[in-house]
Structure formats: C-alpha cells, structure tokens
Chains A and B, each alone.
Chain A
Amino acid sequence: MTRLTEWFSAGRSSGKHTLPFVVILLTMTLLASAANLFLPADSALYVSTYTITLLGKYLCYAMLALAVDIIWGYCGILSLGHGAFFALGGYAMGMYLMRQIGDRGVYGNPLLPDFMVFLDWKELPWFWLGMDHFWFAMLMAVVVPGILAFVFGWLAFRSRVTGVYLSIMTQALTYALLLAFFRNEMGFGGNNGLTDFKEILGFDLQADSTRVSLFMITALLLAVLFVVSQRILSSRFGKVVLAIRDAESRSRFIGYRTDRYKVWLFVYSAVIAGIAGALYVPQVGIINPGEFSPINSIEMVIWVAVGGRGTLIGAIIGAILVNYAKTRFTAIMPDAWLFALGAMFVLVTLYLPKGLMGLYAQMMAKRRPAKTQESEA
C-alpha cells in the first residue's frame, strides 16, 4: 500500500493528490453508474441516462483538457488546434460506427454509408477500408492524430516556430481541416458529418447499459491517462519538458534536443485528444466538422486556464466546471453565456494566472504558516 501511494505520488508536489483524486473520480463514477442501473427511475437518488451521458461528455472534455494542459501547462506550447486531433479521433470512431450500421441504413445498402448512396458514390473510398474492424478504427483514432501531430510538430519544432507563431499555425491547421471536412467530396459526410449510429461492438448504443459502460470506460481511461501522464511528467523527461518551457535555449545548451522532446510530447498529447474524441462520439451520437472550428480549440484552452495550467488535476476540474456552467447558463440565459465566457477569459488571465488550483495552493500556503504559528504559541 505504501508502495502504491509512493508510485502515485512520485516526485512532484502535485503528485500527492493523485491517488485521492483517482479514488474520488472512480468512486463517483461507480456510484452514478449504479444509481442509474439499479435504482428505480422514481427514486430520489436515481441518476438518469441523460445525466450519465452528460457526465460522460464532461469526462471526454476533461481528457481533452488533460491533453491541452500537458502541452501548454508543462511545455509552454499553446496549441489552438487541439480540436483537430479530438475531431480526427472522433471521425475514426464515427467511421467505425457508420460501418456498423451495415444494411440498416435508410437505403439498405450493405456496402456504403447512407450519405454516399445519397451522393451517388459507387464504392467505398480507400480511407474507409478497414474501418469496419473495431481494433483498426481504434488504432486509427490514435495513429492519425499522432501522425498529424508528428508531421506538424516535426516541421514546426525543428524550424523553431515557437510562441504565438506556433499558436497561429495550429489555428490555421484546424481551420484548414475544418474547410476540408466541410467539403462533401472528402467522403466524410460534409457538413452533416456522421450520425445515426446503431451499435458498438454489437451492443445497442441506445441501451442504458451501453451508455453506462461507455461512461465508466471514459472515467477509467481518464484515470489511467491521468496517472500515466503524472508519471511521465514527474520523470526526468518531465523535468526536461519543464526546463524547455522555462528556458528552451538553456536546455539546448546543456545537450537536450528540445525539438524531439517537444515533438513526442505533442504527439502524446494529440493521441490523448484522439482517444477523447473517439470516446466522445458514441456518447453524443454525432461527429461533424464543427468540432474542427478554431473557436472550440480556444475554448479548450480556457478550461485549462480556469482550472489551473501546469496541474493535471486543475485541467480536469476546469473542463468539468466550465462545461457544467455552460450547460446551466445556456439553459437559463442563452445570451449571457457569451458574456460570461468572455469575461472568464479576461478575468482568469488577469487575476488568476494559475487558475483555481493556484488559488487553492495559495489558500493552503496561507493557512499553513498560520497553523505552524499556532502550534508554536
């Protein structure tokens, strides 16, 4: 047990919260799932499937925030295009789910998805091949964002595009992809994207049990990725990454090829975003080019900023809080939401540069000296 705690909390100061956080996250997940599956619908503690799906969506966003934080909070690379990796992962999953429909589409065509029949396509484009195998689609969900991140990162980091330039380039990247996926000729369903999914691995997507399972898998994967990321970032690799963030040229002068570190971290982050996207799609039931829109990518950054960048827990909490607020706000005052979101951007950057976690750390720091004084007295 001590070894376990040790493993979780290796090294860094934020590490000591890892185990409790994971325990809370998984417990909550289990409780919510059980409340949905085993309690009667009229029980006061019943958690509706709607809520489960909503929570599942939040957790996907949390995973995405984790990805953004790894690259921004720890390495100082502000990516305004993480939505692209998320969406690509989502499309891979969407393509698999689309193939699962088989001949149950409206045209009953066993070979082609509906939108292709609709646009009079004769055969499946090459990039759809293999997508009817779950393992292959999932491989693509991580490989495609990974490769894109690798190529982009390799080009950008090697030629030392940094700071705001890089941010703008990532934004251009996701914008270019947005335009591309809008095109119907691309073979991804154009503006409508992919939808009307029926089942995943043979399980009915509309069944409560499937939804709960997806939710639980999301929570579990989030926990795993969280712990693994925490480990990676507290290894010497993580120290190098921090060193790059704070003084990149210094790191180079002591012999680290910083571009390689950045590329691999970028790829890792993109892969996490891809996984988040792949989990997102079966839960919300649609993937379309809107996910590539630059605004979405910027919104992700604000989740991390609100929660506190440079702390993985902060990113997760930020994503969940902001999205919960969004759900509530847009229901009560749809017009006020954009004001609130805008103000959040300004206020957090001005007054809370370290986010809620920074605030929490400050509060703890204040309380501690007070305590020690008390004990001395």
Chain B
Amino acid sequence: MKIKMLTSAILLSGATLMTLPSWAADTIKVGVLHSLSGTMAISETTLKDTVLMMVEEQNKKGGLLGKQLEAIVVDPASNWPLFAEKGRELLTQEKVDVIFGSWTSVSRKSVLPVLEELNGLMFYPVQYEGEESSKNVFYTGAAPNQQAIPAVDYLMNDLDVERFVLAGTDYVYPRTTNKILEAYLKAKGVAAKDIMINYTPFGHSDWQSIVSDIKKFGGEGKKTAVVSTINGDANIPFYKELGNQGISSEDIPVVAFSVGEEELSGLDTKPLVGHLAAWNYFQSVESDANDEFIAKWKAFTKDSNRVTNDPMEATYIGFKMWANAVTDAGTTDVDAVEQAMIGQETPNLTGGIAVMNKNHHLSKPVLIGEIQDDGQFEVVWETDGVVAGDAWSDFLPGSKDLISDWTAPIKCGNYNTKTKTCSGQVY
C-alpha cells in the first residue's frame, strides 16, 4: 500500500520534474526535429547532422546577434503523434527559436497545429505535395511544379515520350503529384488511355506483375516512360525487377522524385543506370559552393564516402536564410523573422540564387539527372533559370484559385483570388 503510494507519487512528481524549463538564455536555440530511430531514421539522421554542421559553422563565425547557437536534438522516432509531442516540448520546454525538421508529410501535418498554436517557426526541407502554406513554416524543398512538371516536360519534349506510367506508393505525396500530373498531361493532349496509374503499399517488394504490366503498356508502339513516386525501400526491388525483365532505360526510362544520392549510396546501381531523377540539386553539379559544401560535409562526418543530396541543400539554404533573416531583423522573434525571411536571397549550391517568395516557398532550378554506375547523377537537362515554388497547384480543381501571400495586405496562406477571402488560417 505504502509502496504503491510512493511509486505513484514518484511517478507523477517525476513527470513534473522532467519538464523543468532550462534557464540558460544567453544562446539562440535551434531545435532539430528529425527521427533518429524507426523507419525514417535512415533519411532523417543525415539532415540532423547537416543542421549540426551548420550550427557549428555559424558558431565558428561568431554565432548570431552576438550569441552562440545551441542545437537541441529530440527524437520523434518515426512516430507521427510524437512529432506533435516533441514539437511542443521544443517550443514550450526548451523554448527554441527555430526548428529544422520533419521529412514525411504526415509528420509535418502532425506538428503543424502545434507550431501554429505556439507560434513557432519551422523549416521543412523535403520535396512535398504542396497544397499547404502556413505562416509558421518555410518550405525549402520542391513543390510539385519544381520537380514533377518540369520532369514530365523533359520527357515529352526531349525524349518524345507519349505514354506515361504514374507509379507511386500509396500515400499523399504520390497521390497528389499524380493527380497534378494527370491533369497536366491531359491539358497537354495526352489521352487517358495513354496514362496508367498504379499505387503500391509502403515497402512493396514483389513487383513482378506490375513491371510485367508496364512492359506490356510500353510495348504497344508508343514511347513510354515511368514517372515514379515510389518511396524509399520499395525502389530497389522495383529497379531490379525492371532489369531482370529486360526493360532497359532506353526502352522505358523511369524518372523518380524520391531517389537521390543518399538512397543510392552503397547499393548495386547496375540495374538503375540510365534511369532518371528530378531534383533541385545533385552532388555532381560543379560549382565552388558545392565543392566547398561537400568537402565540409565529408570533414564533419569524418567519412570520405558520405554523399550529399537535395534535402541537405534545402536544409543548407533554409539555415543560411534564417541566419540572414535573424541578422536583418536583429531579433529571433518569430513574427519579425518571418517577415524578414520573405525576399531573402542566398546562393544555392548549384551556382544560382535561391529566393524566398511571399508564399514561403523557394525559387529553385530544376535539374534532371541520369543515374550513373557510381551512384551519382549526370545532369542531362536543366531549366533555364529558377522556378518559383507554387504552394497551390494550378492543375487541381480545388486549389486553382488559391494563392499564398504572407505580405500585407493579404497575409494569408490560402487566399481565394475569386472570392477574395482567406479560408482556414486567421491571424
């Protein structure tokens, strides 16, 4: 009886104690909200390290506003509700000034209400499906119009592709991207029977039937390409099956939006050679900034084989811009930084300039690369200049009329240009 009371008491008081706020206020705190365990750890750990590297570098330069930066790392363990919980912990217990975090859409959606409630600031560095613009989030990854649409343009114009297989993992990013692409292709005059859409579950490994279907679909006389939004683990078995069934990249090229250097590193790339990927950054791009970044990264990780990838560049740009915005605003206050962010320009790693637009999305170049047998990409096509990220797709009926503009007088993430109203968020 007594013992039980004791345990209960210890338990509850323990729970209370663990939340004691930390006092040290002479640093600027940078929260890192990336999964370090669970299924997403593979991808997200790299981004955590990138942020840590940037923080270290910034501190060497003397920090910001005369203060040192301090990285606070938490582990949401690839568990989506935990993103909200850990986000709350970062904002209320650790009182961080900015968060770099999230990879999957669902984790961003999970933490979003917390950010808006507590007026936090987060940088989201991964390509995503768009259809969102929050005052508290800056999206430094690609929106669909910065990845998917240019890729399809390339297929149609340069490779004369007439038939499209849209293959994806069944979750929101592929769903939306394919919806947008389907509408876009139809608008470009591609017939419905020339578009094949296919969804598979996460980690799908038995691709026999689907690849055989693709083979049939592609063998009907028209040049065919696969636009793949297949996620992570499922990719290798997919490419292997393509190779085994004798489909080469010249016959049916696959252009992927989720396969990057990190995913290819250490893999048998033979079955993938010649297939394509669309990103805003490739490690193989030759520029001084990129060489410097790669060298720093290899030094930081003490691993000369480590590769860099697109979300890392997005993290890099996001961090640089935030540092500049804080300097410009002279404070880490979220509202001030948010306004200072808009219009920020910072050199990207591919030799151009990244600009933060009014809709919290970046302007970026779009590159298409062919996979080489060393796991790198050879750039085969790129846009002339930069493409501005579009939060709301012009090709979806629900969001055609929506725009995002976080400057006065609109100050709205989803402003309907027809009804002149701002739905959802009201600040």
Contacts and interface: CB of A to CB of B under 8 A. Distances in A.
Interface in B85-110: 85, 88-89, 92-93, 104-106, 109-110
Contacts of B421: 108
A251 B110 CA distance: 49
Contacts of B344: none
Nearest to B132: A106
A103 to B, nearest CB: 7
B179 A20 contact: no
Interface size class of B (residues with CB under 8 A): 35 or more
Nearest to A336: B37
B117 A206 contact: yes
Contacts of B201: 179, 182
A334 B79 CA distance: 13
Interface in A35-90: 35, 45, 47-51, 53-55, 57-58
A118 B398 contact: yes
A118 B131 contact: yes
B398 A324 contact: no
Interface stretch (A137-145, A148-156, A234-242, A280-288): A280-288
Interface string A297-338: 000000000000000010001001100100110110011011
A193 B109 CA distance: 9
B212 interface: no
Nearest to A321: B11
Contacts, number: 170
A209 interface: no
A182 B171 CA distance: 7
Interface stretch (A183-191, A223-231, A253-261, A264-272): A183-191
Contact of A51 (B19, B81, B424): B19
Contacts of B112: 195-196
Contact of B37 (A17, A45, A190, A330): A330
A117 B8 CA distance: 47
A47 B20 CA distance: 9
Contacts of A104: 423-424, 426
Contacts of A166: none
Q: Give the contact-size bracket for chain A.
A: 35 or more
Contact of A184 (B3, B110, B171, B425): B171
Interface of B: 1, 3-5, 7-9, 11-12, 14-16, 18-19, 21, 36-37, 74-75, 77, 79-81, 84-85, 88-89, 92-93, 104-106, 109-110, 112-114, 117, 131-132, 170-172, 175-176, 179, 199, 201-202, 396-399, 402, 413-414, 416, 421, 423-426
Given A105-B424, A182-B171, A330-B37, 6 more contacts: A20-B4, A35-B16, A50-B89, A192-B172, A284-B85, A363-B3
18 contacts: A17-B4, A24-B4, A25-B8, A45-B16, A50-B19, A51-B15, A55-B15, A103-B423, A106-B131, A107-B424, A118-B396, A120-B396, A182-B171, A182-B202, A195-B106, A206-B113, A330-B77, A331-B75
Interface of A: 17, 20-21, 24-25, 28, 32, 35, 45, 47-51, 53-55, 57-58, 103-109, 115, 117-120, 179, 182-184, 190-193, 195-197, 206, 284-286, 288, 290, 313, 317, 320-321, 324, 327-328, 330-331, 334-335, 337-338, 360, 363
Closest 7 CB pairs of A and B: A108-B423, A191-B171, A334-B75, A206-B117, A284-B81, A106-B424, A117-B398
